[in-house]
C-alpha cells in the first residue's frame, strides 16, 4: 500500500511511475485525493463536535456536584443534539475511511527507477548470464521422459488422487527433494537466517498483509468451511509474523528462512507450459525473507541475489539473472529479479527463484513499523526470495546431468542424499 501522505504530495509522480507497470492510475489517484480531502474535512467537523460535547459533560458533572440540578438537566438536553450530529459525522467519516482504504489497496507498488516498461516476460532484461555456450547445443531428454525411465515421478497416480499438477515423487527423486530441502536450510542457517516452520494455512489478514488478497480470484486456494487460505509461498506466513509490530532498528536485518509446501491455483495455465514439473498446484520451496532498514534494503537485495547465485553455482547449473520489466513485476513488488536455470532437455530457461524488494508496500499494509533514530515511527522494507523452489530445479538437475550410468548428482548434494546417481 502506498502512503496517503506521499500520494497527496506527489500525485503526478505516482501516476507517471505506475505507467511503467502499464497501470493507468490517474482516475484512481484523483478519486483518492478527493475522498482524502472530504475525509479530513469531516474529521475536523467531528472533532469540533466531540470537543463541545465533552466539555458539556464535564460541566454537567460539576453542576451535579454543586447540586445545581436544573442547570444540569438543561445542559443535558443540549448534548442530545450534539450527539445526533456526531453520530452522523462519525458514520460518514467511517464510510470515507473505508472507501479511501479500499481505493488505496487497488494501487500497485511503485516500480523502482531501474525497472523498464514492458508487457511480458519477453521484455525482461537479462542482467547476467552464466551458462557455457556449449550447453545450448547439447541434446537431452525432457525430465518427464527421464522420470518414466527411472520410475521416479508418477504424474498419473497423482492425477488420480488429487488432480493434474499434483505429482508423486518416488524413490530417489523423493529422497533427492528431501536432501535439497535440508541442504538449502543448512546453507541459509549458516548465512544467519533463522529457521522457522510456518503454518501453511493463513487467515485473511495475512493474505492482505503481503498483497495476495483482496484479489480472491488470484493464486490462492480458499477453504470452504473455515476462513483460511492455503499459502502460495512461505513469504505469506513468514512476513506476516511481523504484522502489527513495532520493531527496533537494532534488530535489522531480520532474516528468516522457511521450508514449506506451496499451493497455487494457477488458473488459466495450459499447454506445454504446464508439462511435467513446470507448473504445479503443489510444490516445495525454501524461502528467505528479510526485513531491513530502508537505507540498506537495496544492498540486501543484492546480497540475496548473490546468495541464490551461489546455490546455483554449487549445484553446477547454468543460470541467468533477469530484472523483470514493469508489466511482469508483481502488484506488490518494487523490483524483482528472476533466476533461471537452463534445462537442456526442454531447451529452455526455467525460473527457479524470484527475489524481490517490496520496499514499504507490505509493511504499510501490515502496519509493521520501527522507531528510527529521531524517535519517529517509520515503515521498514521487506524482501524475499526463493532459495530455492524444488520442482523446476529437480527437472533441470535431471535434464542437465544425463549420463549412460544414470543421472549424476552434483557433488555438494551427495552427502545429503547418500547416493550420487539416479538410476
Partner RNA sequence: GGAGGAAUGGCAGAGUGGUCGAUUGCGGCGGUCUUGAAAACCGUUGUCCGUUCCGCGGGCCGGGGGUUCGAAUCCCUCUUCCUCCGCCA
Binding site for RNA (CB under 7 A): 4, 40, 43-44, 46-48, 50-51, 53-58, 60-62, 64, 76, 79-80, 83, 246, 369, 371, 375, 377
Taking the complex as a whole, the smallest distance from the CB of residue 202 to RNA amounts, in Å, to: 13
Select 57 or 71, whichever has its Cβ closest to RNA. Answer: 57
Select 285 or 369, whichever has its Cβ closest to RNA. Answer: 369
- φ, ψ (nearest 5 deg) of residue 189: -60, -40
Element (H, E) at 289: strand 282-292
Taking the complex as a whole, the smallest distance from the CB of residue 29 to RNA amounts, in Å, to: 16
Residues 6+ apart with CB under 8 A from 281: 162, 163, 164, 165, 166, 263, 264, 265, 266
Q: What are 393's three cell numbers?
A: 530445479
Residues 417, 422, 423, CA angle at the centre, nearest 5°?
A: 140
User: What one-character-per-residue DSSP string does 129-152 give?
Assistant: EE--HHHHH-----HHHHHHHHT-
Residues 6+ apart with CB under 8 A from 118: 124, 325, 326, 327, 328
Select 86 or 400, whichever has its Cβ closest to RNA. Answer: 86
Taking the complex as a whole, the smallest distance from the CB of residue 305 to RNA amounts, in Å, to: 32
Alpha-carbon gap, residue 325 to 392, rounded angstroms: 22
Taking the complex as a whole, the smallest distance from the CB of residue 286 to RNA amounts, in Å, to: 23
CB 60 within 8 A of CB 49: no
Select 126 or 245, whichever has its Cβ closest to RNA. Answer: 245
Identify the bridge partners of residue 350 per DSSP, sorted by sequence position: 341
Torsional sign, CA 157, 162, 164, 169 = negative
Q: What are 242's three cell numbers?
A: 511481523
Select 11 or 320, whichever has its Cβ closest to RNA. Answer: 11
Select 1 or 20, whichever has its Cβ closest to RNA. Answer: 1
Taking the complex as a whole, the smallest distance from the CB of residue 71 to RNA amounts, in Å, to: 12
Residues 6+ apart with CB under 8 A from 411: 316, 420
Strands (E) across 156-233 are located at 168-169, 194-196, 201-203, 228-230
Select 107 or 257, whichever has its Cβ closest to RNA. Answer: 107
Taking the complex as a whole, the smallest distance from the CB of residue 48 to RNA amounts, in Å, to: 6
Taking the complex as a whole, the smallest distance from the CB of residue 251 to RNA amounts, in Å, to: 13
Strands (E) across 218-274 are located at 228-230, 246-248, 254-263
Taking the complex as a whole, the smallest distance from the CB of residue 210 to RNA amounts, in Å, to: 20
Select 127 or 223, whichever has its Cβ closest to RNA. Answer: 223
Select 36 or 287, whichever has its Cβ closest to RNA. Answer: 36
Taking the complex as a whole, the smallest distance from the CB of residue 61 to RNA amounts, in Å, to: 3
Taking the complex as a whole, the smallest distance from the CB of residue 228 to RNA amounts, in Å, to: 11
Alpha-carbon gap, residue 15 to 27, rounded angstroms: 9
Looking up cell 509493511 gives: 363
Q: How many residues does the chain have?
A: 423
| Order of strands across the sheet that contains 282-292 | 125-130, 319-323, 335-343, 348-359, 381-389, 282-292, 254-263, 194-196
Select 126 or 246, whichever has its Cβ closest to RNA. Answer: 246
Amino acid at each position: 500500500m502506498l502512503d496517503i501522505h506521499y500520494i497527496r504530495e506527489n500525485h503526478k509522480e505516482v501516476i507517471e511511475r505506475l505507467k511503467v507497470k502499464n497501470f493507468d492510475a490517474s482516475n484512481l489517484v484523483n478519486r483518492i485525493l478527493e475522498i482524502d480531502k472530504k475525509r479530513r474535512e469531516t474529521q475536523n467537523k467531528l472533532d469540533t463536535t466531540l470537543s463541545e460535547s465533552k466539555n458539556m459533560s464535564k460541566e454537567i458533572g460539576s453542576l451535579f456536584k454543586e447540586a445545581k440540578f436544573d442547570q444540569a438537566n438543561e445542559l443535558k438536553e443540549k448534548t442530545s443534539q450534539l450527539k445526533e450530529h456526531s453520530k452522523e459525522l462519525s458514520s460518514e467519516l467511517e464510510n470515507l475511511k473505508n472507501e479511501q482504504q479500499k481505493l488505496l489497496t487497488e494501487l500497485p507498488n511503485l516500480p523502482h527507477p531501474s525497472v523498464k516498461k514492458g508487457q511480458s516476460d519477453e521484455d525482461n532484461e537479462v542482467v547476467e548470464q552464466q551458462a557455457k555456450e556449449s550447453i545450448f547445443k547439447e541434446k537431452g531428454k525432457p525430465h518427464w521422459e527421464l522420470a518414466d525411465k527411472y520410475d521416479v515421478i508418477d504424474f498419473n497416480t497423482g492425477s488420480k488422487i488429487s488432480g493434474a499438477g499434483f505429482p508423486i515423487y518416488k524413490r530417489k527423486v523423493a529422497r533427492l527433494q528431501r536432501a535439497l530441502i535440508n541442504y538449502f536450510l543448512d546453507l541459509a542457517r549458516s548465512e544467519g537466517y533463522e529457521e522457522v516452520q510456518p503454518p501453511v494455512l493463513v487467515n485473511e489478514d495475512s493474505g492482505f498483509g503481503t498483497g495476495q488478497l483482496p484479489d480472491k480470484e488470484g493464486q490462492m486456494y480458499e477453504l470452504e468451511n473455515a476462513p483460511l487460505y492455503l499459502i502460495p509461498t512461505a513469504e505469506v506466513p513468514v512476513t506476516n509474523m511481523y504484522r502489527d509490530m513495532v520493531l527496533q532498528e537494532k534488530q535489522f536485518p531480520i532474516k528468516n528462512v522457511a521450508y514449506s509446501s506451496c499451493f497455487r491455483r494457477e488458473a488459466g495455465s495450459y499447454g506445454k507450459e504446464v508439462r511435467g514439473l513446470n507448473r504445479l498446484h503443489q510444490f516445495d520451496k525454501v524461502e528467505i525473507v528479510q526485513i531491513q532498514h530502508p537505507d540498506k534494503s537495496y544492498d540486501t537485495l543484492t546480497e540475496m541475489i548473490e546468495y541464490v547465485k551461489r546455490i546455483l553455482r554449487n549445484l553446477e547449473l547454468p543460470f541467468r539473472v533477469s530484472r523483470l520489466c514493469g508489466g511482469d513485476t508483481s502488484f506488490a513488488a518494487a523490483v524483482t529479479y528472476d533466476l533461471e536455470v537452463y534445462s537442456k532437455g526442454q531447451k529452455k530457461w526455467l525460473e527457479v527463484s524470484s527475489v524481490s524488494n517490496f520496499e514499504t508496500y507490505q509493511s504499510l499494509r501490515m502496519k509493521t513499523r520501527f522507531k528510527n533514530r529521531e524517535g519517529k515511527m517509520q515503515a521498514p522494507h521487506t524482501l524475499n526470495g526463493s532459495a530455492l523452489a524444488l520442482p523446476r530445479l529437480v527437472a533441470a538437475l535431471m535434464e542437465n546431468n544425463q549420463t549412460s550410468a544414470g543421472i549424476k548428482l552434483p557433488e555438494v548434494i551427495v552427502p545429503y542424499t547418500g547416493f550420487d546417481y539416479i538410476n
